[in-house]
Each structure stands twice: as C-alpha cells, then as structure tokens.
Structure 1
Amino acid sequence: MKFLRFWFPVLFYSGIIFYVSSWPNLQAPLGEFDFDKIFHLLEYIPYGFLVARALTAGQLPQNRLFLWNVVLLSLLYALSDEFHQSFVIGRESSLIDVWADTLGGMLGGWVYMEFEKRKSKTLADGKRL
C-alpha cells in the first residue's frame, strides 16, 4: 500500500508526460527565445518533486545523495521520453530537451527537500503547518 501511495503519483504524472509527448506536430510559440526549453523545465519540476517524495516515502531526506537519485531518474525518464518523441510525427528529439527535463527534475527534488526541511523545523518548533 505504501508503494502505491508514493509511487502511483509518479507513474500517473509520467503517463501525462508520455501522453503530451504523443501529440503530433506540437509546436512551442515562436519568438526570440526558445520557450520550448522552459516548457520542458517546468514540466519536469513536478516530476522531480514527486520522485523525491516517493524515494523518501514522504520523510525528510537523510542525506543529499537522494537528490542525485532524483536527477538520475529524471534523466532516464527524459531520455526515454525523447526516444519516444522521435517516433511521433512532427516531433523531434533533442539532447538539449533532455538537459532541460533533467534540470527541471533536479529543481523539483530540491524544492521537495526544502519543503520537508521547513516542515520538519516547523513541527520541531511546535508550530502548526
């Protein structure tokens, strides 16, 4: 049951990413800046947050090594996502997208770590959340 509680959200969100990646001919708005990379980064922040939550089972991370595990899982899923996109009509895969996805996953993991640290400190001080 604990597995479902912590890993189901990761699997569900992974499915959402896969579904969006399956849309043919999806184009980011054009402009002077490549907003596509920002979308990739933002898409993977929740992914990294959920992976960090699952890896720590909702507890305060005991060391920073867990963040590297978040980065590794984000990287592996980003690689598989870009591989999948290479088969979708009108889509292309890019290692720069993998980089943006991985960075987003890392940021999500960091946000989770900070959230848990503050929550833990608040509870230790006897304050309510």
Structure 2
Amino acid sequence: MKKHTDYVRWLPAILWMGVIFFLSHQGAGSSSTLSSGITKTIHDLLTTLLPWLELDLDFFHFLVRKGAHFTAYLILGLLVSYARRPEGPKAYGSVFILCALYAMSDEFHQSFIPGRSGELRDVLLDSAGALTGILLFLSLTCRRVRITVRESSRKSA
C-alpha cells in the first residue's frame, strides 16, 4: 500500500489542473478582459522602464496569451514530475503523455465555450511548455543528486 504522502504529492498538480480548467472555462469576453489587463500592465511597465521600446500592443497581447499557455503547462510539467517522481525515460515519457493528454482535453473543453475554440497549435504550445517543465525538473533533480553525492564524498574523505 502506498504511503499517504505519495497521494499528497499529487495535490498540487491536481489543483493546478483545476486552475487551468477554470481559466479555460471562461467565455471569450472574460478571458480577453483578463489577458488584456495583464498585457496592459506588462506593456506599461516595460515602456516605463525602457522608454525607447516600441511595442505593437496587439502583437504583444498575442505573445502574452501564448506565453500564458506555455507557462501554465511548464508549471504542470514540473508538478506532475514532482508527483510522479519519475525514474528513467519511460517514467518521464508517461509524465509527458499525461500533460499532453490534459492539453488535448483542455482544448477540446474550450471548443464548447462560447467564443472560444480548441486549437492544435495551442496543444503543441502547451505540450512544449510541459516538456520544458519536465526537463527543468530533471535538471534540478540531477543537480540535487550531484550536490548530495559531492557532500557525501567530502564527509567520508
């Protein structure tokens, strides 16, 4: 039987999936208002810090929306990796498949929301974000193992 902590490790990933679902369930108007507000805030901050910078607001809005997709699934890739504690390529592959399937289901879900659509390019972008999160998790895990091994060898020397 698994320890209680094994199930608790999945809680952050499941909660994050809920956040993604909630944001995907917003109608086009609400979603656009949210992303436009975020875009304007970032745009104003950038133009204040870098007054010489000229940004096309519509294109910048597009980048913010697509960046949100990538970032949301990067976080999901990290959280599912943490929950799954993969060891070996097959286990990491299963983490990627789970994240990619969730991205597909998310876009399918959006196709039923008024004013929204499911797009293959968003599934690909989401999957790329998840893969980046998985690779980041792998990198951090390997780094932690190297540090632990290095400290152990210093203590035994």
Asked if Structure 1 and Structure 2 have the same fold, meaning a TM-score greater than 0.5 normalized by the shorter chain, the answer is yes
Q: Which has the higher helix share?
A: 2
TM class by smaller structure: 0.7 to 0.9
Task: Please give the TM-score of this superposition, normalised by the length of structure 2.
Answer: 0.71
Question: How many pairs align?
Answer: 123
Structure 2 letter corresponding to 1:65: K
Question: CA separation in 2, counterparts of 1:117 and 1:10?
Answer: 21
Unaligned runs of 5+ in 2: 37-57, 153-157
Q: Matched residues in 1 for 2:84 and 2:126: separation?
A: 19
Q: Aligned partners of 1:24 and 1:15: how far apart in 2?
A: 16
**Equivalent residue for 2:73, pick from 35, 41, 44:** 44
Residue 2 of structure 1 corresponds to: 5
CA root-mean-square deviation: 1.8
The runs of 5 or more residues in structure 1 that have no matched partner are none
Identity of aligned residues (%): 29
Q: TM-score, normalised by structure 1?
A: 0.86
Question: Which aligned runs of 4 or more in structure 1 are off by greater than 3 angstroms?
Answer: none
Q: Report the equivalent of 2:90.
A: 65
After TM superposition, give the deviation of residue 32 of structure 1 in Å.
6.7
- Give 1 or 2 for the bigger CA radius of gyration: 2
- Residue type of the partner of 2:93? W
**2:62 pairs with one of 28, 34, 50:** 34
* Partner in structure 1 of residue 129 of structure 2: 104
